[in-house]
Chains A and B, each alone.
Chain A
């Protein structure tokens, strides 16, 4: 505003601020009595010295992350199997009812093989990991650990030329990238905010964790035998998260050296006191707010996607169904990046929500494959194997899922937050390019050395 003639008032401002502080100090000194022995306050400080220490901070972070994933993976196996058994036991009865009613085969196909089976897989594969992962993660959050993570990561982001608060918005991305993008509002500098928005997508969200965890469990864990299976799968998921964080940092660095040049700004990060997590409330909140929410979204989108996929797989043009035509068309390109035509199609059809990529894939395989009985998680692996999957396919699909373009909701949020077509396009094209490049390199390297 030009209404006010400029004058240097910084001396007055400092005086005012110190006046307010002096007043506060006076009030507090007269009304607050600190304890004689400050053990509790000391406890916080001592814990902070360990959790945010230069040497122990990072190993502890990795250990925490690993523990959370291990508990999730090891704990989800049994309930996942039980749920799958249950749903397919029900399917048997439903099929019997349809047969008894004498409904046409296509009705049974759409409703049972499309709608029911798709939904059943989503629930049995995704529900147990989520029901374990979210509460465990929420306990760490409630305890006050996440701000310490941000504190630890701060210097990396500074080095990458980005804002330290990006560590916080990135952590939010683990929940949901759209939420993480919105959270970037806490970053004042427009330059650093755009960097944080563009790179938020590189940490896996709720919708992608189940995919990563399932594939790691089936293909990485299984390869080593059951005893260490969960441990290996955990290592793979932790590794993927680290790859995601590295991608975040390197892309931030790249952007701050090229398109978004500038010097990182400073900020004060407050470390809140540690609090005893409220387990009861946490359970309710994380089950209702997150688990049910994500599952509902997955089912709502997966159910129609199941029907659509079944229809695409059962309308024939010539000898092949529409789905097969499309997959065949994409196949050569998809093979070059370690995937196959169906997987790439699932990613394309899964644009609205990452939760439905795996379900769509399972449904396309089921509807075109010879397999009709699906009654355990091992069957799921056999299904993938029958389509020529190797550990490389699983790895490339996980990498693609980790690095590829943001989901529809996140794209829309980015457009809304940046109010710029250019930055929205960058936020879509840059990750896509990286995902294609990384998968291509990995697939070609592995094949060149003949490791598969």
Chain B
């Protein structure tokens, strides 16, 4: 299954809604997500060198750095999202990260994880995979994990997740060429990740199934109905507000009382 990123649309989305200037329409846009303290900024700096600046997104008070790099004749724009533990929109940081992955229409999303602390880090990766297929997971701080005697079965991890997994030691620059190659392939569609999304437990799945017929006509084609249904069950309505804010032509006006969450 290789449906494209959840957001159909052009990269005008990036420039108009998130005030990110692309140098050319051919720029490949990569969103950079990760927990705090995973060396995300180190990865960002290692990829972009000094070629970066800090931006401030329209309507949001959360800043974000934007950097550029070239790889194999292609130019990339890397958008450094705020470090978050989840996409559940508990804070302004999380909303910004979620909104960009959903509506900024990046060509790929890179989730940086900490090899010494995968257990906490994979939660975010799994959540990002629910939003978009085009995910690359970088397992950073491999050198530190090695020093601590932690071994990671990377092939097994890739198998379990269904998306490319690249080992990194960003501080030493190890793994960067491989990472750039993989980002390019995913961005161009040469590699099509197929996230393995396991079903939730029975009651959640039942509630999703009940809700889906109502959500599908509202958000279909813009967001993944399943994901939106999950968010609504989550009690998070900001996703609908964001949908109205970020889509140029909302699929349909959502009126009060149209979506009824089954008890």
Q: Which residues of A approach B to under 8 Å, CB–CB? A: 1-5, 7, 9-10, 12-13, 15-16, 19-21, 23-25, 27-28, 30-38, 40-41, 182, 185-186, 188, 270, 272-273, 275, 278, 417
Contacts and interface: CB of A to CB of B under 8 A. Distances in A.
Nearest to B153: A31
Given A1-B238, A12-B234, 6 more contacts: A5-B260, A10-B235, A24-B122, A24-B123, A32-B118, A40-B149
Contacts of B152: 31-33
A52 to B, nearest CB: 16
Given A15-B200, A30-B160, A278-B171, A35 B148 contact: yes
B240 A16 contact: no
A182 B171 CA distance: 27
A272 B233 CA distance: 32
B82 to A, nearest CB: 9
A40 B233 contact: no
Given A31-B160, A275-B144, A417 B61 contact: yes
Interface string B238-254: 10110000000000001
A272 B160 CA distance: 27
Contact of B156 (A13, A19, A31, A273): A31
A33 B152 CA distance: 6
B60 to A, nearest CB: 10
Interface of B: 36-37, 61-63, 90-93, 116-119, 122-123, 126-127, 144, 147-154, 156-157, 160-161, 171, 198, 200-201, 203-204, 207, 230, 232-235, 237-238, 240-241, 254-263
Given A3-B259, A5-B259, A20-B127, A32 B150 contact: yes
Given A16-B234, A275-B144, A185 B261 contact: no
Contacts of B256: 2-3
B144 A273 contact: yes
B226 to A, nearest CB: 12
Nearest to A7: B261
A335 B1 CA distance: 79
Given A20-B123, A33-B151, A9 B233 contact: yes
A272 B148 contact: no
A24 to B, nearest CB: 4
19 contacts: A1-B238, A1-B241, A4-B237, A4-B261, A5-B261, A7-B260, A7-B263, A9-B233, A15-B203, A16-B233, A19-B200, A23-B198, A25-B119, A31-B152, A31-B153, A31-B156, A31-B160, A185-B92, A272-B37
The 9 closest A-B pairs by CB, nearest first: A35-B149, A272-B37, A7-B261, A40-B148, A31-B153, A24-B122, A31-B157, A31-B156, A33-B151
A31 B150 CA distance: 10
A351 B230 CA distance: 52
Nearest to A2: B256
A182 B64 CA distance: 12
B91 A188 contact: yes
A243 B257 CA distance: 56
Contacts of A13: 233-235
B84 to A, nearest CB: 11
A351 B160 CA distance: 58
Contact of B240 (A3, A19, A37, A417): A3
A19 B37 contact: no
A12 B156 contact: no
A436 B42 CA distance: 44
B172 to A, nearest CB: 10
A30 B255 CA distance: 46
B237 A28 contact: no
B147 A40 contact: yes
A289 to B, nearest CB: 11
A163 B122 CA distance: 28
B263 to A, nearest CB: 6
Nearest to A267: B91
A13 B230 CA distance: 9
A12 B207 CA distance: 9
Contacts of B263: 7
A9 B235 contact: yes
A16 B261 contact: no
Given A9-B234, A28-B119, A3 B255 contact: yes
A182 B63 contact: yes
A7 B262 CA distance: 8
Contact of B157 (A25, A27, A36, A270): A27
Nearest to A41: B148
Contacts of B148: 35, 40-41
Q: Specify which of B62, B127, B153, B235 lies most central, judged by the most chain A CB atoms within 10 Å of its CB.
A: B235
A270 B204 contact: no
Given A13-B235, A41-B148, A30 B153 contact: yes
Contact of A4 (B92, B157, B198, B259): B259
A273 B260 CA distance: 45
A3 B237 contact: yes
B116 A273 contact: yes
A16 B157 contact: no
Contacts of B233: 9, 12-13, 16
